[in-house]
């Protein structure tokens, strides 16, 4: 039982609890309505969020299953709508906005905002935010990695009116739809989202009827105060202090090699917390930049992971202060391209995981795999009318090892844990593709006393198609998923293409746009596993053997990464045994040499890689060297940066 | 001795047996302690205790938790899966999402079949059903030999796109059967022939792991019953709300996974219909949780989004039941934000509420109800006595002191928070699905349902509460009132504007032939068969479908489209007359009607019943002098107004001040919440 704390509530505890739960139920009802009527398959797979706001635009409640990445941004877009339409709003109005430069995320996330009136008094807003399938721009799905500014990216929607006093403004809606590759779905999603906001209006007015306007509006304030109190209480119970870390984006497409640092210094003082991004790189020549709203969202999402039980609303944000240098990769301004903001976003989230892991070791976690998106589009030549197709897909991967527990296997990326992966049978019906493989990738997990979760590999063939192009949006081909507390990184990765009729793979890496593809081309992409937690030489050999039996780990890497020597007795019967003596010797050998390996001359490592003596897993896990994975050439600046992190997170924890 | 029907509901604590005299319709109840290690022991004990002559029993139906428990506890026989090469991990990758989005230490459970027992063979069928690669028989035989060596007890065969063409799966089964003739083999194209591989494979996997468990249980129980004289087929309640015979259990074992949960929903629907409320909400509140279900127009709401463990859907149509952690034993607590909370933690059966005197000192809903005088201090006919002093102490320490409230105010606050949580659950099942609670009656049952039912109904503006005669054993009644039922469905993906009625008719007829064959196999006579068709449709581009009823002869697709627009508008508040409509799936519900005995109706003679006593009961901060009635003394036509308390062996009914209550011809108490 928690002890009594000072409460400043003016509502009685029962009314308060009822209203608090009703606000959340209301938002969950919006989600249910959206899921069941949406058109965008991105929304259908749960890339959406909903919120209820007070009359000032602050968030009162977010849904239980909303995607993480929209957290901490919905109040911004609501406030922007208020700024533009204040004094000019009426019941039945609905506004749209997708502006990342006004606190949104990226163009694809289109928010519909409805003012809610009790008679003639504005009492709040409901907002429904969904990822539309296309917003125009230079490539299908609106993700052009080479975009330097927003003009290649798609349609920027500053606040505008989509419904006026209940009347659908089809002129405006049609203009928006006409700027996309999927106009019919866009109109469908506008209706779906507008109805979701109306469902919230109905519910809020029902509460007003029952409890009275004053109690409800007071409840909307007090649920925010409640969350604020709970967070401040937890913060004040923690020791004051400062924590620092750095994570990287692979590179600036417009510059030479060398990773792009995002630096964070976190300071807890009393019941306040400050995140300072001073020292982070300036904006880069690709869409992998983040505007301030999205950066704030990443901070909140990372921190919320350590407060999983608290409801989300603006009360959570009140004790958080964020400072970032102007025009940095985490603080981009119009018109810098930001559609790939999820790349800095996940770096920030994982950095926050790392710092909070020191504060709450019972919830500690190593780095999670990086999200990836494949977008291919063109004409589907299987059908006589050759319709436009858009193949847009993301894969799950492994999360970081934990304190006393292996990382979560094959799970959605950390930016959006609610997101679902897509069925292959659905892909094959809708798009001219055939999947030949979708399975767990052996040895993808970062070794550790508690290994990372495993990633997957998906391989597909393009069937009859015309004018098809492909884009791939990923990262951590170089800033490889890291381990902590002596744990090892997982794996570098990128997309490989086997041209129709040819035998050899072409390495296309983890970031490219508008690449022409033809019928019969086969493309394969793995996702990384999570980083390891703790020294892999301390992993229980029995656990390593179980992983070998399930083919999560190969016999070879059981030996090289864990120093565990296992003999196969009868594979059919899953019978193996550990050679205890050989294991001890092997572990002693690794222990004696591993620090030298991690500091070996990178050119020697490059030579061994090129000659086939070692592979890319050896290069990152044992030699801490980052190469151009196609040519085997050393990337000197990148390697220096990678080694600096490896020394801190891994080597320093070895005995 | 007259002919009887027997229904058994096996619960965690008690096994309830409902015995109905076929001629008079009189129902009597036997209650016996459950025997979790071997549930059929309690059943046979109950049969003996109730002196049931099994040779005179015309129908023995059973809601079982054997499959549910096996899946929950994972005490499952070693089962293997055979997959298309490259797709070994479909059930492990799932849809990759999590149940708890924010807690990084809470994982989705591993699949029922571990990776080592998922083997692959070369074969491939494309999205149109064309065989790109026939089953590689060398691979198939090799896999069969390995699985034989491993001595697996059951096998699932799950191939890509088999929902359009099951030929390769069937061939694989034949080869497995050649090597292991007696082993149960579940193939995905027969278990659940629908698109989306994870959902189909997961259902097939659940089916395969349950098969050895339930087949063994059902055949042993069947033998015991027939040794004791029972001559018919044992009938088993499945999650869809019908029964099936042991013959079908073998092929569709996982349909029993929701057997126990469905019974309460069926009983609630039945009672609602009986009282003239085809729209009813079932409110089954027990010690640790509350199950909420909904019937509309006399039919239970069915869902296909269902699972025992998150991530592993069982896509057989199931009665939709929403379970929340609110029961008599739920604990009240103050969280760190200073908010008063209730549940989902529970004091459980032991130590139970503070007033049970077993050492728990934290207030539960039961303690609060004792403090308020709503619950008496003697339960189960005097078998259990409650200590009001301990209840008061717990409420004082847990809530009154921390929140600065007076004792009774604190107890009311505890109950009010519990009621609000339960009302929210009802809201999710009703309002968020487009149903207005004002159009429903609330059927309150389970040990604690009648204590809270009237207040929850008032919170939701539900005008009527029905408390059945034996609230604590209502679920067993559900098993007694069911028909044989099977569900068939097929993917049928087409543009509604171009689909030909003949093609759809042909597809329906094909499914109906299967349905008739299955019902015949179960001994249902032709004249007792009823087939109901539905078509699932959506606006082109949408991702979820809505079901509409289809006629026995498909003549015009446009009437189906019109029905879809109407249903979309009812459920989602808008229609898009101009938007093209797609057809997604067609389904047939095959019912073998089991003749029902009539529940006897008593003559209603209006009168005011005599209270057996009076006590002080708190409502809205005021102590009321409330009449206390004994339920067993009620006859049809009794009517009274609250504040009143009605006590009976297994339940207590609370009628708040100002509400009117009356006893109908079936001895249900009907409470009108307005007033």
Domain residue spans of chain A: 13-230, 364-534
Predicted confidence at residue A165, as pLDDT, reads 97
Predicted confidence at residue A477, as pLDDT, reads 98
Q: What is the DSSP string of B175-221?
A: HHHHHSTTS-EEEHHHH---S-HHHHHHHHHHHHHHHHHHHHHHHHH
Query: How does the average pLDDT of chain A come out, rounded?
Result: 94
pLDDT at B89 over 60: yes
In this predicted model, which residue has the larger pLDDT, A207 or B475?
A207
- For residue range A195-241, what is the model confidence (pLDDT) as tens digits? 999 999 999 998 999 899 999 999 999 999 999 999 999 999 999 99
Find out whether A143 and A287 touch, Cβ atoms under 8 Å: yes
Closest chain B residue by Cα to residue A429 = B127
Which residues of A fall within a CB distance of 8 Å from B199? 423
Query: How does the average pLDDT of chain B come out, rounded?
Result: 91
Q: What is the DSSP string of A451-475?
A: PPPP-EEEEEEE-SEEEEEEEEE--
Cβ–Cβ gap A39/B541 under 8 Å: yes
- For residue range B179-231, what is the model confidence (pLDDT) as tens digits? 999 999 999 999 998 899 999 999 999 999 999 999 999 999 999 999 999 99
The C-alpha atoms of residue A252 and residue A254 are separated, in whole angstroms, by 5
Tokens at A350, concatenated = 């994982």
- For residue range B594-607, what is the model confidence (pLDDT) as tens digits? 877 678 899 999 99
Which residues on adjacent β-strands are paired with residue B319? B302
Is residue B130 less than 8 Å (CB to CB) from chain A?
Answer: no
Rounded to a whole number, what is the distance in Å from the CA of B419 to chain A's nearest CA? 9
Helix (H, G, I), strand (E, B) or coil at B89: coil
In this predicted model, which residue has the larger pLDDT, A487 or A377?
A487
Helix (H, G, I), strand (E, B) or coil at A91: coil
Is residue B84 less than 8 Å (CB to CB) from chain A?
Answer: no
- For residue range B613-664, what is the model confidence (pLDDT) as tens digits? 999 999 999 999 999 999 999 999 999 999 999 999 888 999 999 999 999 9
Predicted confidence at residue A55, as pLDDT, reads 98
Q: Where are the alpha helices (DSSP H) in A132-240?
A: 170-178, 183-211, 213-237
Helix (H, G, I), strand (E, B) or coil at A138: coil
- Report, in angstroms and rounded to the nearest whole number, the Rg of chain A calculated over CA atoms: 26
Phi then psi for residue B42, to 5 deg, are -65, -35
Is residue B102 less than 8 Å (CB to CB) from chain A?
Answer: yes
- For residue range B553-612, what is the model confidence (pLDDT) as tens digits? 999 999 999 999 999 888 887 888 888 999 999 999 999 988 776 788 999 999 999 999
Is residue B51 less than 8 Å (CB to CB) from chain A?
Answer: no
The predicted model gives B246-272 an average pLDDT of: 89
The C-alpha atoms of residue B268 and residue B444 are separated, in whole angstroms, by 8
Largest CA distance in chain A: 81
Cβ–Cβ gap A25/B417 under 8 Å: no
Which residues of B fall within a CB distance of 8 Å from A436? 86
Cβ–Cβ gap B92/A409 under 8 Å: yes
Is residue B142 less than 8 Å (CB to CB) from chain A?
Answer: no
Output the pTM of the full model.
0.91
| Closest CB to A7 among B94, B126, B338 | B338
- For residue range A336-352, what is the model confidence (pLDDT) as tens digits? 999 999 999 999 999 99
Q: With a CB-CB cutoff of 8 Å, which residues 164-203 of chain B face chain A?
A: 195-199
Complex ipTM value: 0.94
Mutate to test the interface with B, among A3, A12, A15, A17 (most CBs of B within 10 A): A17
Predicted confidence at residue B12, as pLDDT, reads 66
Cβ–Cβ gap B573/A399 under 8 Å: no
Which residues of A fall within a CB distance of 8 Å from B197? 423-425
Distance of CA B207 to the CA centre of its chain: 18
Which residues of A fall within a CB distance of 8 Å from B98? 408, 411-412, 417-418
Find out whether A397 and A368 touch, Cβ atoms under 8 Å: yes
Rounded to a whole number, what is the distance in Å from the CA of A352 to chain B's nearest CA? 13
Residue A77's pLDDT band (cuts 50, 70, 90): very high
Residue pointed to by tokens 């949406």: A38
In this predicted model, which residue has the larger pLDDT, A455 or B343?
A455
Mutate to test the interface with A, among B90, B93, B133, B322 (most CBs of A within 10 A): B93
Tokens at A550, concatenated = 């399930």
| Closest CB to B544 among A22, A35, A353 | A35
- For residue range B297-356, what is the model confidence (pLDDT) as tens digits? 998 888 888 898 999 999 998 999 888 888 888 999 988 777 888 988 888 777 889 999
Tokens at B313, concatenated = 């859907």
Cβ–Cβ gap A21/B107 under 8 Å: no
Which residues of A fall within a CB distance of 8 Å from B572? 33, 36-37, 195
Cβ–Cβ gap B336/A233 under 8 Å: yes
> Structural domains in chain B?
4-70+215-259 (3.30.420.40), 78-213 (3.40.50), 484-592 (3.30.1490)
């Amino acid at each position: 039982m928690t002890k009594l704390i000072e409460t400043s509530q003016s509502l009685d505890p029962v009314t308060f609890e009822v209203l608090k739960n009703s606000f959340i139920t209301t938002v969950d009802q919006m989600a249910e309505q959206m899921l069941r009527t949406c058109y965008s398959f991105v929304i259908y797979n749960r890339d959406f969020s909903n919120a209820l706001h007070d009359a000032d635009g602050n968030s009162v409640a977010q849904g239980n299953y909303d995607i993480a990445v929209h957290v901490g941004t919905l109040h911004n877009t609501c406030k922007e709508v208020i700024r533009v339409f204040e004094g000019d709003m009426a019941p039945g109005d609905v506004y749209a906005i997708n502006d990342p430069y006004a606190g949104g995320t990226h163009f694809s996330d289109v928010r519909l905002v409805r003012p809610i009136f009790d008679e003639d008094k504005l009492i709040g807003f409901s907002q429904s935010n969904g990822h539309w399938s296309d917003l125009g721009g230079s490539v299908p799905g609106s993700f052009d990695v080479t975009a330097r500014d927003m003009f290649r990216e798609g349609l920027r929607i500053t606040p505008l009116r989509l419904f006026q006093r209940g009347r659908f403004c089809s002129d405006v809606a049609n203009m928006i739809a006409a700027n996309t590759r999927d106009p019919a779905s866009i109109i469908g999603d506008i209706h779906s989202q507008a109805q979701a906001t109306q469902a919230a209006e109905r519910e809020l007015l029902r509460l007003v009827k029952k409890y009275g306007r004053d109690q409800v509006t007071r409840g909307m304030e007090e649920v925010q105060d409640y969350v604020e109190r709970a967070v401040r209480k937890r913060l004040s119970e923690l020791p004051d202090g400062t924590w620092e870390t750095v994570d990287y984006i692979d590179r600036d497409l417009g510059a030479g090699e060398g990773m792009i640092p995002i630096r964070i210094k976190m300071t807890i003082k009393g019941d306040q917390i400050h995140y300072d991004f001073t020292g982070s790189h300036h904006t880069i020549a690709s869409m992998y930049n983040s505007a301030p709203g999205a950066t704030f969202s990443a901070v909140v999402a990372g921190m919320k992971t350590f407060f999983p039980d608290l409801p989300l609303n603006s009360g959570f944000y009140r004790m958080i202060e964020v400072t970032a240098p102007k025009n940095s990769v985490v603080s981009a301004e119009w018109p810098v391209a930001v559609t790939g903001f999820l790349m800095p976003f996940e770096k920030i989230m994982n950095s926050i995981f790392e710092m909070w892991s020191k504060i709450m070791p019972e919830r500690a976690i190593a780095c999670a795999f990086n999200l990836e998106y494949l977008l291919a589009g063109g004409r589907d030549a299987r059908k006589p009318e050759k319709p436009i197709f858009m193949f847009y897909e993301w894969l799950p991967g492994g999360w970081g090892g934990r304190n006393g527990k292996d990382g979560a296997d094959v799970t959605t990326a950390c930016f959006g844990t609610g997101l679902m992966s897509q069925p292959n049978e659905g892909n094959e019906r809708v798009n001219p593709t055939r999947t030949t493989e979708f399975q767990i990738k052996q040895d993808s997990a970062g070794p550790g006393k508690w290994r990372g979760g495993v990633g997957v590999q998906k391989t597909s063939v393009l069937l009859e198609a015309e004018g098809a192009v492909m884009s791939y949006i990923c990262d951590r081909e170089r800033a490889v998923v890291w381990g902590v507390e002596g744990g090892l990184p997982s794996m570098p990765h990128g997309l490989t293409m086997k041209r129709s009729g040819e035998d050899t793979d072409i390495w296309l890496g983890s970031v490219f746009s508008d690449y022409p593809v033809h019928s019969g081309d086969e493309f394969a992409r793995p996702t990384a596993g999570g980083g390891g937690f703790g020294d892999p030489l301390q992993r229980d050999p029995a656990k390593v053997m179980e992983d070998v039996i399930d083919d999560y780990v190969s016999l070879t890497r059981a030996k090289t990464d864990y120093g565990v020597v296992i003999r196969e007795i009868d594979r059919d019967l899953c019978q193996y045994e550990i050679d205890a003596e050989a294991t001890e010797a092997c572990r002693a050998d690794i222990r004696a040499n591993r620090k030298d390996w991690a500091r070996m001359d990178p050119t020697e490592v490059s030579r061994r890689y090129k000659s086939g003596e070692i592979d890319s897993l050896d290069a990152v896990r044992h030699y801490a060297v980052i190469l151009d994975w196609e040519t085997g050439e050393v990337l000197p600046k990148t390697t220096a940066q990678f080694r600096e992190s490896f020394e801190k997170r891994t080597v320093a924890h070895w005995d | 001795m007259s002919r009887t029907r027997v229904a058994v509901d096996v619960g965690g604590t008690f096994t309830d047996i409902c015995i109905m005299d076929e001629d008079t319709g009189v129902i009597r109840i036997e209650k016996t302690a459950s025997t979790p290690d071997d549930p059929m022991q309690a059943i046979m004990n109950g049969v003996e205790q109730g002196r049931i002559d099994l040779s005179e029993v015309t129908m023995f139906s059973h809601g079982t938790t054997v499959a549910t428990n096996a899946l929950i506890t994972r005490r499952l026989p070693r089962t293997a899966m055979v997959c298309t090469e490259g797709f070994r991990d479909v059930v492990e990758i799932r849809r990759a999402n999590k149940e708890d989005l924010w807690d990084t230490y809470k994982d989705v459970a591993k699949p029922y079949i571990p990776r080592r027992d998922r083997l692959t063979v070369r074969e491939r069928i494309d999205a149109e059903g064309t065989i790109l690669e026939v089953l590689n028989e060398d691979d198939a035989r090799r896999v069969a030999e390995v699985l034989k060596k491993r001595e697996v007890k059951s096998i699932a065969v799950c191939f890509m796109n088999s929902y359009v063409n099951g030929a390769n799966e069937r061939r694989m089964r034949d080869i497995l059967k050649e090597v292991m003739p007696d082993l149960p083999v579940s193939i995905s194209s027969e278990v659940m022939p629908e698109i989306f591989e994870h959902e189909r494979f997961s259902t097939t996997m659940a089916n395969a792991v349950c098969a050895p468990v339930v087949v063994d249980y059902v055949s042993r129980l069947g033998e015991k019953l027939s040794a004791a004289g029972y001559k018919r087929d044992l009938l088993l309640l499945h999650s869809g709300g019908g029964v099936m015979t042991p013959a079908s259990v073998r092929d569709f074992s996982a349909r029993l996974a929701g057997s126990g949960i469905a019974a309460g929903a069926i009983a609630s629907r039945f009672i609602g219909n009986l009282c003239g409320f085809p729209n009813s909400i079932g409110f089954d509140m027990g010690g640790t949780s509350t199950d909420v279900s909904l019937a509309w127009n006399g039919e239970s709401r069915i869902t296909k989004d269902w699972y025992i463990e998150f991530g592993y859907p069982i896509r057989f149509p199931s009665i939709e039941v929403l379970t929340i952690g609110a029961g008599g034993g739920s604990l009240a607590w103050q969280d760190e934000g200073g908010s008063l909370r209730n549940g989902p933690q529970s004091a459980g059966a032991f130590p139970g509420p503070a007033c049970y005197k077993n050492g728990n000192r934290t207030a539960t809903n039961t303690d609060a109800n004792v403090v308020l005088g709503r619950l008496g201090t003697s339960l189960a006919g005097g078998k259990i006595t409650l200590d009001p002093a301990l209840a008061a102490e717990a409420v004082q320490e847990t809530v009154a002191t921390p929140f600065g409230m007076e004792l009774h105010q604190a107890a009311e606050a505890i109950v009010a928070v519990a009621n609000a949580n339960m009302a929210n659950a009802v809201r999710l099942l009703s309002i968020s699905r487009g149903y207005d609670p004002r159009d429903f009656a609330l059927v309150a049952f389970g040990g604690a349902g009648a204590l809270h039912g009237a207040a929850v109904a008032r919170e939701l503006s539900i005008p009527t509460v029905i408390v059945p005669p034996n609230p604590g054993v209502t679920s067993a009644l559900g098993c007694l009132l069911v028909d044989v039922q099977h569900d068939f469905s097929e993917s049928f993906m087409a543009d509604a504007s171009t689909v030909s009625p003949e093609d759809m008719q042909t597809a329906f007829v094909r499914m109906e032939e299967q349905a008739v064959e299955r019902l015949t196999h179960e001994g249902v006579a032709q004249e007792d068969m009823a087939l109901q068709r539905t078509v699932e449709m959506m606006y082109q581009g949408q991702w979820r479908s809505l079901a509409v009823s289809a006629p026995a002869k498909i003549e015009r697709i446009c009437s189906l489209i019109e029905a879809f627009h109407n249903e979309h508008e009812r459920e989602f508040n808008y229609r898009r007359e101009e938007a093209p409509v797609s057809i997604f799936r067609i389904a047939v519900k095959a019912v073998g009607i089991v003749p029902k005995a009539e529940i006897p109706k008593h003559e209603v003679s209006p009168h005011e019943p005599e209270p057996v006593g009076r006590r002080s009961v708190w409502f809205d901060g005021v102590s009321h002098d409330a009449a206390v009635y004994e339920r067993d003394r009620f006859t049809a036509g009794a009517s009274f107004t609250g504040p009143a308390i009605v006590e009976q062996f297994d339940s207590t009914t609370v009628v708040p001040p100002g509400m009117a209550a009356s006893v109908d011809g079936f001895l249900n108490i009907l409470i009108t919440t307005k007033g």
